[in-house]
Structure 1
Amino acid sequence: MVHNLYQPNIDFLPKESIFLNISSVEVGKHLYWQIGNYQVHGQVFIVTWLVVFTLFAVAFVGTRDLKRIPENAQNFMEYILEFLQDIAKNQIGEHEYRAWVPYVSTIFLFILGSNWAGALIPWKLIQLPEGELAAPTNDINTTVALALLTSFAYFYAGLRKNGLGYFARYIEPTPVLLPINILEDFTKPLSLSFRLFGNVLADELVVSVFTLLVPILVPLPVMILGLFASSIQALIFSTLSAAYIGEAMEGHGDHE
């Protein structure tokens, strides 16, 4: 039997090596940190810690000298809090929303801070041994993790509110819709994660291309548009998260 010299003979390769070769395929280069038996993307953690530190610093400055009549930073912080409370209240309901304000607020502020960090800071100027710094939401692992957190949150909310009766929603309004209703729970985190990842990645690519082609003035309006789009993406993700939680907390009798 004559084998093509340029074609590997898969028949004589062990199955384990085939799967290892497939699993080792990746897009781009990354800075990996070895933590025990696991490898994590170091550049994602670096920017994530910077975003979290910035959010803590802003919160500390805005609340360190609280007054009965708010001024300056405190006034700004109270405005942000009211805005985030309105998101939770409108989607979850007036009687149940307070317990979920911290979660919805954290999701919104982290995504907003991450998106703005990618749009405002010229990370490409910082050289790493491998990979490059970018917005944490530019990494599919981050957006999937955030989407899975929302999935766990609305399952927890539904079971805590309705007990095992929560699963009755899968056969409403008719048991025929059981497969579709189950599939919906898988498509929710997929749509959340890929929508956020795709928009952030596309925005950074557009800015990078314009910067390379016309490095003066032209990228500025694109960056401003990117800030607006980044804010919208944070609003969409947090609003949908709150809407899913509110939907899960509806009782069986609420649909009748």
Structure 2
Amino acid sequence: MQKLAEELLNELKVKTVFTIPIFGGIGISESVVISWAVMVLLIAAAFYLGSNLKVRNPGRRQLLSELIVSRLDSFTGEMLGEKGREYRSYMAVVLLYIGLANLIGIFGVKPPTKDLNVPIALSLMSIFLVEFAGIRALGAKGWLKSFTKPVAIVTPINILELFIRPLSLCMRLFGNVLGAFVIMELVKLVVPVGLPAVLSLYFDIFDGLIQAYVFVFLTSLYIKEEVGE
């Protein structure tokens, strides 16, 4: 168990890759570098699939890009509902980022979502979008009045949700990703050969994609509640 504790502490440790010599030195962590790499891959793929678009006689690359966009729009649009469909592009990007960030563990790289700062940042961005959607749909007065519904006595609880929601999103993503690591380490202690390879494939692929879906689904659910659908 001591070995497991040491491995867990090492996994939680945020390593600094390099330091930018400004303002006394700004450390750039491993999770930031990997996040940049994930974003570069997504941007490069977007430029590649979105270049040389044609109205007539589209090529295979354009057909593939249109298929991906339409499927993502349909997938996130269904979760957001009719009133929240305008935010489907943002949710699609978040889905792709978290999914790819979790999948990168297949190549022996530490997923950025194992750094608590990344889930915190993603959660805060999503909650800002949720509250912005509510203000835009209901107006400032309507948004403030929503805290008194269904009855005024629950107002403190509704206000508390402003802090509970991002905490819930953050800990679900971080906790599940970290929990997968703990399970893998326990399995290695019991069955060191064979089974860890199979479970590693599951956690690196399926569980990582499931966590991306859960994060996007919950954010979409919060948006639907805010816009009154």
How many residues are aligned here? 213
Q: CA deviation at 1:241?
A: 1.3
Deviations 1:130-177 (Å, cap 9, x if unpaired)? xxxx11111111001100001111111111222121111111111111
SS in 2 for 1:94: coil
Is residue 2:35 matched to residue 1:48? yes
Is residue 2:117 matched to residue 1:141? yes
Q: CA deviation at 1:214?
A: 6.6
Task: Give yes or no for contact 1:87–1:239 (8 Å, CA) kept in 2.
Answer: no
Task: Give yes or no for contact 1:108–1:238 (8 Å, CA) kept in 2.
Answer: yes
Give the number of the structure whose alpha-carbon radius of gyration is greater.
1
Q: What amino acid is aligned across from residue 156 of structure 2 in structure 1?
A: P
Is residue 2:71 matched to residue 1:83? yes
1:72–1:194 Cα change, 3 Å: farther
Is residue 2:174 matched to residue 1:197? yes
Q: CA deviation at 1:74?
A: 3.8
Q: What amino acid is aligned across from residue 152 of structure 1 in structure 2?
A: F
1:73–1:221 Cα change, 3 Å: farther
SS in 2 for 1:173: coil
Is residue 2:15 matched to residue 1:30? yes
Task: Give yes or no for contact 1:91–1:242 (8 Å, CA) kept in 2.
Answer: yes
Gaps of 5+ in 2: 1-11
Q: What amino acid is aligned across from residue 197 of structure 1 in structure 2?
A: F
Percent identical pairs in the alignment equals 31
Q: What amino acid is aligned across from residue 164 of structure 2 in structure 1?
A: T
Q: CA deviation at 1:213?
A: 7.7
Is residue 2:143 matched to residue 1:156? no
SS in 1 for 2:150: coil
Q: CA deviation at 1:216?
A: 5.9
1:209–1:84 Cα change, 3 Å: same
Q: CA deviation at 1:235?
A: 0.9
Is residue 2:93 matched to residue 1:93? no
| 201-210 or 167-176: bigger deviation | 201-210
Deviations 1:67-118 (Å, cap 9, x if unpaired)? 55666544443333233212432233325413x1221111111101111112
1:214–1:198 Cα change, 3 Å: same
SS in 1 for 2:82: coil
- Structure with more helix by fraction: 2
Distance 1:136 1:39 in 2: 18
1:152–1:199 Cα change, 3 Å: same
Is residue 2:206 matched to residue 1:228? yes
Aligned to 2:218: 240
Distance 1:211 1:70 in 2: 50
TM-score (structure 2 length as normaliser): 0.80
Q: What amino acid is aligned across from residue 93 of structure 1 in structure 2?
A: G
> Aligned-pair RMSD on alpha carbons?
2.7
Distance 2:164 2:25 in 1: 28
Gaps of 5+ in 1: 1-26, 124-133
Q: CA deviation at 1:65?
A: 4.1
Task: Give yes or no for contact 2:16–2:29 (8 Å, CA) kept in 1.
Answer: yes
Pairing 1:8-19 to 2, within 5 Å after superposition:
none
Distance 2:48 2:30 in 1: 27
Distance 1:190 1:83 in 2: 30
| 211-220 or 196-205: bigger deviation | 211-220
1:141–1:77 Cα change, 3 Å: same
TM-score (structure 1 length as normaliser): 0.72
Distance 2:146 2:83 in 1: 21
1:50–1:207 Cα change, 3 Å: farther
Distance 2:175 2:83 in 1: 35
Distance 2:157 2:84 in 1: 28
Distance 1:88 1:114 in 2: 19
1:201–1:39 Cα change, 3 Å: farther
